[in-house]
Amino acid sequence: MNVRGEQTWRRMRYHGLMLTRVLLSALLLAVASPVFAQKLASPEVSPDGRVTFRLRAAGAKEVVLRLETLAPTAMQRDATGLWSFTTAPMPPDIYVYDYQVDGLRIPDPENPLLKYNLLHSESQVHVPGPASLPWEISDVPRGTVHRHYYRSAVVGDDRDFLVYTPPGYDPHAKTPYPVLYLLHGYSDDATAWTAVGRAHVILDNLIARGQAQPMLIVMPLGYGDWGMIAAGWGGISDLGLRRRNYAKFREALIGEVMPRVEAAYRVSTERNGRAIAGLSMGGTESLFVGLNDVDRFAWIGAFSAGGLGSDFATQLPSPRPDDAARLRLLWIACGREDGLFASNQQLVEWLRSKGLKPTWVEQSGAHTFLVWRRCLAALAPLLFRALPPPR
């Protein structure tokens, strides 16, 4: 994307956010009752896992709660203009939701826990569970998440990437740390795997339990062409745009992000010490980059790979005869209720027809972080087996 295109996209994004805020503010201020200034408890999580959602919108005709795992549900209005709904007990997890107020979808204005998104941000609610769940913060040593910024000559913009260093990370270790390049999905940004996926928490817990090797995780921005976002939700359906996006992303990852990571951190530069994995669009990018670069990555993971269609040969490289032996792991997973489940099954069969040996994992769930957190928790213990621990 050229500079003018980037500026146009940024203006679109800015004005879109401003318009949403203006509409939300106008809606709430126009319908506010005298008690509008009172802080509402929303969402409110009860000890038994029930969650109560509240929104004050006295002039609204209809408010619908859109909550993961629950069908869109009409909320009830009381005499003061307060809309509310209480769920049945929900299993411990982190759920995404928003409200549809007379047709306008908005995040919960009372809830600071946001699932930021380049096209549509939503709110999150955490139903806490036992410390044994990998995404729950527990009393274990914690790693650190670092944020880096740089100017991309490949894409022509200023962008960021995040790096997780495990507890006790030693920049002078004699043995380098293995590194996982972890990619986000379409319409998300580089923060998604920490802000929503809790990748850092999951790795802290697995490392503390001795279930995963201490490793670094690099979370780059996954767009090689900003037209993917400027086109709105239709961007992922444009085959030509997807191909440009994947190619430029690969170029930026290998030529810009990886050299910066390897200069700043004590990480392996050997293929056996590098993995790449991602969700949805990032799952397809992981396959595209990893299968094109088996000389660089010995471990590849794809969660709910999206945007592939069924003509895999036009989007993925044809494996070389020795790739099956050289890949330490090719791990593909998808939720059974995901609309991409069938295409991911077909992908696995296509890879097998090309002589590769993918591991296929079925999860319960749809196209959501409820599945992808579990995917990461299942994949991480399989990575970098038999490598000497950093010391």
Whether 105 and 154 map to the same domain: the answer is no
Specify the CATH number for the domain of residue 211. Answer: 3.40.50.1820
The candidate with the shortest Cα–Cα distance to 92, out of 289, 374, 327, 360, is 374
Q: What is the mean pLDDT of residues 13-17?
A: 45
Whether 38 and 113 map to the same domain: the answer is yes
Residue 4 lies in a domain: no
Q: What is the DSSP string of 55-107?
A: EE-TT-S-EEEEETTS--EE-EE-TTSEEEEEPSP--SEEEEEEEEETTEEE-
Whether 52 and 92 map to the same domain: the answer is yes
Buried b (16+ CB within 10 A) or exposed e, 28-61: beeeeeeeeeeebebbebeeebebebbbbbbebe
The tens digit of pLDDT for each residue in 21-76 reads 444 544 443 444 444 457 899 999 999 999 999 999 999 999 999 999 999 999 99
End-to-end CA distance of the chain: 43
Whether 248 and 330 map to the same domain: the answer is yes
DSSP secondary structure code for residue 387 in this structure = P
Residue 255 has what pLDDT? 98
The amino acid at residue 375 is C
pLDDT tier at 116 (50, 70, 90 boundaries)?
very high
Residues contacting 387, CB < 8 A, separation 6+: 178, 213, 272, 273
Look up the domain containing 317 and give its range.
144-382
The tens digit of pLDDT for each residue in 242-285 reads 999 999 999 999 999 999 999 999 999 999 999 999 999 999 99
Whether 119 and 198 map to the same domain: the answer is no
What are the phi and psi torsion angles at 120 (to 5°)? -160, 105
Percent with pLDDT over 90 in the chain: 81
SS3 181: strand
Residue 370 has what pLDDT? 98
Whether 154 and 299 map to the same domain: the answer is yes
Is the confidence at residue 187, as pLDDT, over 90?
yes
The tens digit of pLDDT for each residue in 306-356 reads 988 778 888 788 888 899 999 999 999 999 999 999 999 999 999 999 999
Other C-beta atoms lying within 10 Å of the C-beta of residue 212: 24
